[in-house]
Structure 1
Amino acid sequence: MKHGKKYQDSTKLVDTAALYDTTEAIENCLKTAKAKFDETVEIHVRLGVDSRHAEQQVRGAVVLPNGTGKTVRVMVFCKGDKVDAALAAGADYAGAEEYMQKIQGGWMDFDVVIASPDMMGVVGRLGKVLGPRGLMPSPKAGTVTPDVVKAVQEAKAGKIEYRLDKTNIIHCPIGKASFGVEKLQENFETLMGAIVKAKPAAAKGQYVKSCVLATTMGPGVKVNPSKFC
């Protein structure tokens, strides 16, 4: 793979083989943010579990104390008084069958989908569309709930979902490079705390195998995983 000059310059700023403590890793990661836009800082955590087994799944959601720096568009499936309540709480869209039909027609102008339990019969028909994009509402993620107002407020405040991919890695944003070290560290520790707390009882041996931070366009910076084991 060929990398550009900025990326190659960034790799000279950090030791990509070293294991850094959290603060130093974030400091080094921010040195590599050289793009003209405000790069996202991402975390990639490899866990010592096997996602093929249901009892070793790791999935949940957490509200980052400083948000993600991203404007989140929220779609809420609900009806009756909850429609007005969801919109008043900050939802971008709220409704029922009419939005199901729009999505079936290819409309996807949203980042988060929330649903009240009584709407799952409608939302279930969108599984083949929302599922592959990671947008299907889930009780574990707090996006299937009778309290749609709280769910909307949390989504707007910076709630993110974490879940294993097929290679047993969790990929999540923890903010923007412009946040600075302190805010990014608060977000990092909140997310890692949630991941460690979600350790399955069936997990054996070292739980956090590796943890890497990276800006959108920069190289990976390794965090020492020993404190999370």
Structure 2
Amino acid sequence: MDPSEIPSEWCHRSQRYGLLFSALSHTSSRQWGFVVIRTTYGDDDAWASYLQCVRDNAHIDITRFKPDRGAVLEQMLTWTVIEDAATLENASREQVRQRFQQWCQEQDDFNASLPRFTYCVNVTRACLNTLSAHLGNKSDDVSKPHLPPPSLVAEIVDGDSAPGPEGESGGGYLGWEYIDTRYLMSTYSTLHGTPLDGYNYQRPPAIAPLGQQTMPLT
């Protein structure tokens, strides 16, 4: 389906992924999805497994309620992964922001109003270390949010925000958030209408969106 053919009823704010459908049908950008930046190296097998789990979780999240609409979104979902061990291994979040901003400047369809060009996903060693526990709980799916199985965790980094040293903001916004990747796609859609530092922000070490689990602050 061409984005211009997306039915108007799919674009209502009250509809699941309505904000995303609306953006796809009304902007020139025909791609969606977070840019993923790899900042941990040395175990390519674990990295490949991690990315596959992220993709699997995305499929579940997109299709679990309305498979027909989910199929349309999957056709347009673009997985952009930036890897460079020489410059990104153990990179700081500020270095991740800079690399992401560089990528944005290189895109012909850049649109500052879209999450794709505002937020990126950072995968650190601590995030990669959540893979084993997550694989051991594959039977728990995203349709049961009241259950807290070990999350496969990533970081959402705000490319437009560069706060001071961690904790300096005195309990406020840090410019990034831990995210359970089972909810990565629905979070992307939400970011069309609510910024990361909005009412549902989970300050690290809490893991968004539920905030029931925590991660070490690294």
Q: TM-score range by the shorter chain?
A: under 0.3
Structure number, greater radius of gyration: 1
Which is strand-richer, 1 or 2? Answer: 1
TM-score (norm 2): 0.28
Q: Of the two structures, which has the highest relative contact order with CA contacts closer than 8 Å and spacing of 6 or more?
A: 1
TM-score (norm 1): 0.27
